Homo-oligomer: A and B are copies of this chain.
Amino acid sequence: MQTVFWTLPINEQFMNQITYKELKSVLNKILIKTGFDVNDAELCATIFSNSTADGYHSHGVNRFAEFIKSITDGYVQIDVSPEKLLSLGSFERWDGKLGPGPLNAHFSMNRAIALAKEYGMGCIAMQNSSHWMRGGAYGWQAAEAGCIGICFTNTEPNMPSWGAKTANTGNNPLIVAVPNDTGHIVLDMSLSQFSYGKMWQLTMEEKELPFPGGYNADGVLTTVPKDIVDTRRVLPTGYWKGSGLSIMLDLIVTLLSSGRSTAKIGEMEAEYGLSQVFICFDVDQLNHADRHKSLVDEIINHVTAAQPVDPGSQIEYPGSRTLKRRAKHMKEGIPINNEIWDHLLTMV
């Protein structure tokens, strides 16, 4: 049952308003009960709570029960530590030992930050990791540490490449983050035009997609989310372009980590053992702080100063909406679906 909880819609009705502190405390208790040690539980609860506060419920609180199930089912291991397999100065390869995705990804980005502080840039490739939940979490982590951060992961085969009818590649999320003193700039995008979570949500709200998101059973592009969920023929971001980029990201994570490709992940009974890459650049070694600030301001001001399509509206940039949601939720509490919250309380 809990494996589909993350697909529940964020609906203003039937919502509890939970404080960040309360959410994190409940998640922490469940993690401790599951067997996490105190430090790992604290970090993991923080990552899930931050993602939820930022509005990414589908990869935060709504997916938490499924995350715990991946541990109790034995796919994700909690008594392991990453092991270094290869070191080439600013590049390192690690074995994630099938540990929890959020902890492995946080570890990897921290290591990439450390290498960047030492060498100017750093790159970590990790094999045998698990689903990292919200990739953006590790972009914010890099930016908080004063690093430009880039990370990407492969997934199970969940998207047909351009010209294919069956899923032969993944939607391989790509995250890019840049530190900014008035709020970091963070892009967190998967390479399908819409996520399954979004399509489930709109299906239950009886709404259509704003643009075609995939093919229906007749092979016609459609905006009806249920028809796409049924065929599983989701459209890559930008048709052939997202398709090509998805294949390239799978090649890079697999070759750098010497780990599992999307093809290999698809042969397993669940989505685990993923390959991931984390790249950092230390901004302090690239530009003086004033120069960094003026270059970032120059770009963001140019973007936001354009004429908006909707008169009076504000032009957004990557991360700007997240910052607003985070501020609102930290002040007013986080809306969380009743059913999900009640279920979590039974797990404490």
* Residue A68 at the chain B interface, CB threshold 8 Å: no
Q: In chain A, residues 188-237, which have Cβ atoms closer than 8 Å to a Cβ of chain B?
A: 189, 193, 211, 219, 236-237
Stretch at the interface among A24-32, A38-46, A119-127, A337-345: A119-127
* Residue A286 at the chain B interface, CB threshold 8 Å: yes
Q: Is the CB of A176 within 8 A of B248?
A: yes
A315: B residues at CB distance < 8 A: 161, 163-164, 168
With A162-B316, A303-B168 in contact, do A119 and B248 touch (Cβ < 8 Å)?
Answer: no
Tally of chain A residues near chain B (CB < 8 A): 80
Q: Mark A224-255, 1 if CB is under 8 A from B, else 0.
A: 00000000000011110110110111111011
Query: Nearest Cβ distance between residue A283 and chain B, in whole angstroms?
Result: 7
With A263-B299, A316-B163 in contact, do A88 and B121 touch (Cβ < 8 Å)?
Answer: yes
Residue of B nearest to A314 (CB): B163
Q: Is the CB of A248 within 8 A of B163?
A: no
Stretch at the interface among A15-23, A57-65, A98-106, A287-295: A287-295
* Residue A313 at the chain B interface, CB threshold 8 Å: yes
* Residue A72 at the chain B interface, CB threshold 8 Å: no
Bound form: Cα–Cα A145–B306 in Å: 42
A239: B residues at CB distance < 8 A: 193, 211
Q: Is the CB of A244 within 8 A of B318?
A: yes
Bound form: Cα–Cα A291–B85 in Å: 15
Bound form: Cα–Cα A96–B91 in Å: 27
Q: Is the CB of A238 within 8 A of B242?
A: yes
* Residue A11 at the chain B interface, CB threshold 8 Å: no
Query: Nearest Cβ distance between residue A175 and chain B, in whole angstroms?
Result: 9
A176: B residues at CB distance < 8 A: 245, 248-249, 252
Bound form: Cα–Cα A315–B266 in Å: 19
Bound form: Cα–Cα A89–B165 in Å: 46
Q: Mark A260-292, 1 if CB is under 8 A from B, else 0.
A: 011110100000000000000101011100011
**17 interchain pairs (CB within 8 A)?**
A86-B286, A91-B119, A148-B255, A163-B308, A164-B315, A165-B307, A168-B315, A176-B252, A187-B248, A248-B318, A250-B299, A255-B283, A258-B287, A262-B299, A262-B302, A263-B299, A263-B301
